Copies of this chain bind each other. A is one copy, B any other.
Amino acid sequence: MSVDTTPQAPATPSPAAANNMSRLAFRMRDYGIVAALVIIVIALSLSTDTFLTSGNLVNLLDQTAVLGLLATGATICIISGVFDLTASATLALSAIVGVQVGRVTDVYVGFAAAVLAGALLGFITGTVVVRSGVNSFVGTLATSLVYRGLAVMVTGGAIVYPLTQYAESFGVLTWPSLFGLTSATIMFVVVVAVLAVIVSRTTFGRRLYAVGGNAEAARLSGIRVGSIHVTAFMISGVCSALAGLILASRAGSAQSTMATGMELTAIAAAVVGGTSILGGEGAVWRAIVGALLLTLIGNGFNLLGWDTIYQQVLQGLLILFAVTMDRWLRKRTR
């Protein structure tokens, strides 16, 4: 994935040295959470001999893929100033659509249908939120109930499977591929890289930040705040659909309860990465750092063989450590 816009040489030729110094501090400050991640990686590498094996790194990325995609969608929404609590319901509903369409056509057509469904559901969520004028938190919460309900209605509460002749190719996303990484990992990396470029380099990306940072200022500048939000929800919907396909491909089936509650883990990952829930700030790479950090902690515990009874406490403390470190580095250089 790409890293945020690097500041270019200053236009004003003012005190250059001091400027460079402060530019450096400015960078450091922005990467506190990466430092925390690195510290945890080093600690794990030193305390286990299994952590830094290529096998484990392949696993780690595979395990991060679903959360990473959802966290990216969440981050894009949060940057633009909205929450998308429909993420996991959209995931389930589009995966179900993917499987059902796949039954009457073909696995890959089914996959495409799932992605389309994700975009469509995102469009609906966005339209509901924008039109009703309701706060996105409660608007998407209500919408997510509707989507979950629809998922139950579509499946009749049962699990849906691809046709037997397709069962194997449906598992395509779990297959190893480039550099031994799973196809799911490759898809995740590619999608996230594309989204990172969109967010950090395009005019759409800038509008996203502007809308999230000061919606009124954005409106006064002629930005269609509503359509930016709808687009953000659509991107989030597509991310959810892709995550849903990974989960379905792994399970070989889809059902209406898939990934329940995961929208919150995704938001948590986004925020742990350093995206402000107030909107107007953040970056796609932060979502990935957050998702990696959360996955890593779980992975580390497993490798260390610690008793699950202490896991949660330590997990909480580690997250606190990481975000506090991030916070302090930022404050000191302000």
Chain A positions near chain B (C-beta within 8 angstroms): 128, 132-135, 137-139, 141-150, 152-153, 156-157, 261, 264, 267-268, 271-272, 276-277, 309-317, 319-320, 323-324, 327-328, 331
- For this complex, 16 residue pairs linking A to B, each with C-beta atoms less than 8 Å apart, are A132-B327, A133-B331, A135-B276, A135-B277, A138-B319, A139-B323, A142-B316, A142-B320, A143-B320, A146-B313, A146-B316, A146-B320, A149-B309, A149-B316, A152-B312, A153-B310
A324-B134 in contact (CB<8A): yes
- Complex Cα spacing A141 to B268, Å: 8
Number of copies: 2
- Complex Cα spacing A320 to B323, Å: 35
B323-A134 in contact (CB<8A): yes
B134-A315 in contact (CB<8A): no
> Could you say which of A142, A157, A313, A315 has the most chain B C-beta atoms within 10 Å of its C-beta?
A142
Residues on B with beta carbons closer than 8 Å to the beta carbon of A153: 309-310, 313
Closest 10 CB pairs of A and B: A145-B316, A149-B312, A149-B313, A146-B316, A142-B319, A132-B324, A138-B271, A142-B320, A142-B316, A134-B323
- Complex Cα spacing A310 to B145, Å: 10
A323: nearest chain-B partner, CB-CB: B134
Residue in B135, B146, B316 whose beta carbon sits within 8 Å of that of A312 in the complex: B146
Least CB distance from A203 to B in Å reads: 27
- Complex Cα spacing A317 to B156, Å: 20
Residues on B with beta carbons closer than 8 Å to the beta carbon of A157: 309
Given the interface contacts A142-B320, A261-B261, A309-B156, does A137 sit within 8 Å of B277 by beta carbon? yes
- Complex Cα spacing A133 to B157, Å: 44
Least CB distance from A135 to B in Å reads: 6
Least CB distance from A280 to B in Å reads: 13
B145-A271 in contact (CB<8A): no
- Complex Cα spacing A270 to B103, Å: 43
B327-A268 in contact (CB<8A): no
Least CB distance from A260 to B in Å reads: 9
Residue in B142, B143, B310 whose beta carbon sits within 8 Å of that of A149 in the complex: B310
Residue in B145, B261, B276, B316 whose beta carbon sits within 8 Å of that of A315 in the complex: B145
A149-B327 in contact (CB<8A): no
B277-A146 in contact (CB<8A): no
A144-B316 in contact (CB<8A): yes
Given the interface contacts A138-B271, A309-B153, does A319 sit within 8 Å of B133 by beta carbon? no
Residue in B134, B150, B313 whose beta carbon sits within 8 Å of that of A313 in the complex: B150
